[in-house]
Structure 1
């Protein structure tokens, strides 16, 4: 039930960047641009909100750099990866790395990330009840049913004291990993795209950022609880640009990633989505990685010194 494909329609649509089904051969693209003066196409598969919206803002910037960004919107989690794996499209923008890795494992595909762009905080939103203080025995809570997103939803419920998961459940947690359920909550598992549609039928709903936006929710104003910007989930579930392995250095892909990380796009995201979409800062992750590496080196040095002393 938790198989990736069973949850395929839950929201993968949010992010397909499909760069040129022609493969965007560097020399061919340069020759075409030089001889015809036309822009080099970058075909992109994306979810409607916020991915396609963000890509629309990138279009004029890329045009100035000689690229014609062509965005195609998908509404499932399977096709955006299939078209990139097949070579019909050059990249997609709709998923986070845990989903991509699980997809590769289950489908035998060869997709890789070329850059993290943003993350969307998961939130608990009101259904028939407007406060977590009103929770009562037997209340229902709707959550996404795909593996990574359901685990994320359950972890958020746990962080807010509504359930307790078995030790080690982590990013693969399912309802079978609920160890304590003090309110006897009825966890309603639905495709991610369907969760927001049951706000009138369940006490609470736990939504991906993009589906919260599509449903008219504001993280800052409406969420009863949500993942914090410095949380492990925020770092883990960064939405990425994905390409087929071997296409990482495609100049069109590189230009796309650079533009999506630009101050212009970062400002657009911050000003538009009211905290539901947050630009990802690579420098934070790099700094953390360097700190960890430095600590490991210090530990090794200390161990060597101790050994020498012995």
Structure 2
């Protein structure tokens, strides 16, 4: 795990002006390095990290999300290989301990094709998201699940409409505070970060631009193709501003996990949260209109 020395170093770097994106990327790298060491010699299974670790956006307290490629359908997975100190493994989360996240190469190819063809069945939207964020812990994976997913999307480009619909399903709404009315709660991850990350993921899949980190995906988006210039800039700022708040809390204490009263934030943070809420919801409304008008098609798709 990242040591207390690493934690102190990153906290100091953040205080001196390092970006929250840099801190998250460095924390993710330290965690993946530790996982690679833990896996070395324990299993021949190819392990891919996904979720926040896969995107390079993990912070202290982040869960471990992973999947695996096994040699045979009967291969199990050594749970001890995932016991990396300081990295949280949710027994009900996305790990190779679940059979659906532990498949042979042929099983993965068949499943990915099936999910792309019908993303509303068998939790296809969720699995496409996990695969889009996944990156291998080791070198030279076989198969490269990212390439398999990209090929499946080229063959079934209409699945991207379902991916976008999922990104628009949850609209952030942080209402103003009024006298005699209790302060609203806000879940920074669920309400604000996740919608931006899902839109960025969709844009990367639709444009074939790849990338894992949200900022990287938005920077690679071609203006006017799926997102306009101002929308890209606003989404980049929204993600950065909220990640700053989350990073500051993660480095200084237990961080934020779930809804929290808006009064628990600094006045400047409350203003930022409200602005991000309005901005993200506005972009979602525009994208929803474009989707309903069927304006999203891939250049090589129908």
The TM tier, using the shorter chain, reads under 0.3
Tell me which protein shows more strand as a share of its residues.
Answer: 1
TM-score in terms of structure 2 length: 0.26
Q: Which has the higher contact order (CA 8 A, sep 6+)?
A: 1
Tell me which protein shows more helix as a share of its residues.
Answer: 2
Structure (1 or 2) with the larger CA radius of gyration: 1
TM-score in terms of structure 1 length: 0.25
